Amino acid sequence: QQKVQQSPESLSVPEGGMASLNCTSSDRNFQYFWWYRQHSGEGPKALMSIFSDGDKKEGRFTAHLNKASLHVSLHIRDSQPSDSALYFCAASEWRNNAGAKLTFGGGTRLTVRP
Amino acid sequence: EAGVTQSPRYAVLQEGQAVSFWCDPISGHDTLYWYQQPRDQGPQLLVYFRDEAVIDNSQLPSDRFSAVRPKGTNSTLKIQSAKQGDTATYLCASSFPGTGMNERLFFGHGTKLSVL
């Protein structure tokens, strides 16, 4: 079983609508969670990270973390066609003097319909 | 500031052939990662370095894959005898030192490999 699982696999929302993406981890060694976005033909690009319980807002993007259930979500309000991409949840475990090791989920493909 | 640079962008091989991928990380980034991303799936870590030292290569198929970062800057990932199952995009990423668990990875565009 993958350590980081995402749902849904694909999502279609109208322009201006709200997109909600979900992520669940099965490993309590994970302490930091990231959301990355990947447009076609490019490498993933970091959107935001979250460590504390509750909400974290950056512009149109809001991440929510429930550490007890290891559930993370990403909500995109006022979705734009340029938000159409593959979205990855990634969990980080810290190793002393060895940097952060990121484990990625399988991704959610978001399509924003004009 | 230049981003992470990878070459080549594309590679097409027959099974059994060898291929090398090259990565130039962002200047000053001490940690370098190689990920394998099969089509429409999430990136899977192969190996990562802190400076020239290998930190974790537990997911690297050691019989056919090798990775080096001899001077702690550029890195090369090599597949000795490619198989069709190696078809994927190979991503290189780097990160800035000292940011702890909140390390942000910066990815290159990747090398898209097709093994026929």
> Scanning the structure block, which residue is given the tokens 């099969």?
B38
Average predicted confidence (pLDDT) for chain B = 92
Residue A101's DSSP bridge partners are A93
What is the DSSP code (8-state) at residue B81?
S
User: For residue A22, what are its two tokens?
Assistant: 């979900």
User: For residue A27, what are its two tokens?
Assistant: 């490993």
- Planar angle of CA A69, A74, A80, nearest 5 degrees: 165
| Sequential pLDDT tens for chain A (114 residues) | 679 999 999 999 999 999 999 999 988 888 889 999 999 999 999 999 998 899 999 999 999 999 999 999 999 999 999 999 999 999 987 666 666 788 999 999 999 999
Cα–Cα dist A12/B5, whole Å: 33
Q: Do B101 and A32 touch (CB under 8 A)?
A: yes
Give the pLDDT score at B71. Answer: 87
Select the residue of A95, A99, A104 nearest B95 (Cβ to Cβ): A99
Select the residue of B40, B44, B109 nearest A43 (Cβ to Cβ): B109
User: For residue B86, what are its two tokens?
Assistant: 């190696």
**Dihedral Cα B104, B7, B53, B79, nearest 10 deg:** 120
Give the pLDDT score at A2. Answer: 77
Give the pLDDT score at B99. Answer: 66
Give the best residue of A104, A109, A110, A111 to mutate against chain B (max B CB count within 10 A). A104
Q: Is the pLDDT of residue B6 over 80?
A: yes
Give the best residue of A31, A38, A88 to mutate against chain B (max B CB count within 10 A). A38
Give the pLDDT score at B98. Answer: 65
- Among the listed residues A99, A88, A101, A109, the one whose alpha carbon sits nearest the alpha carbon of residue A27: A101
Half-sphere exposure of A43 (CA within 13 A, CB side): 22
Q: What are the backbone dihedrals phi and psi of residue A5, each rounded to the nearest 5 degrees, phi first?
A: -115, 135
B29 within 8 A of B93, measured Cβ to Cβ: no
Per-residue pLDDT tens digits for B31-80:
999 999 999 899 999 999 999 999 999 899 889 999 999 988 999 999 99
Residues of chain A in contact with residue B91, where contact means CB-CB under 8 angstroms, are: 43-44
Give the pLDDT score at B112. Answer: 97
B33 within 8 A of B23, measured Cβ to Cβ: no
- Strand A108-113 and strand A10-14: the pairing is parallel
B24 within 8 A of B73, measured Cβ to Cβ: yes
Longest CA–CA span in chain A (Å) reads: 47
Q: What are the backbone dihedrals phi and psi of residue B105, each rounded to the nearest 5 degrees, phi first?
A: -90, 140
Q: What are the backbone dihedrals phi and psi of residue B75, each rounded to the nearest 5 degrees, phi first?
A: -140, 150
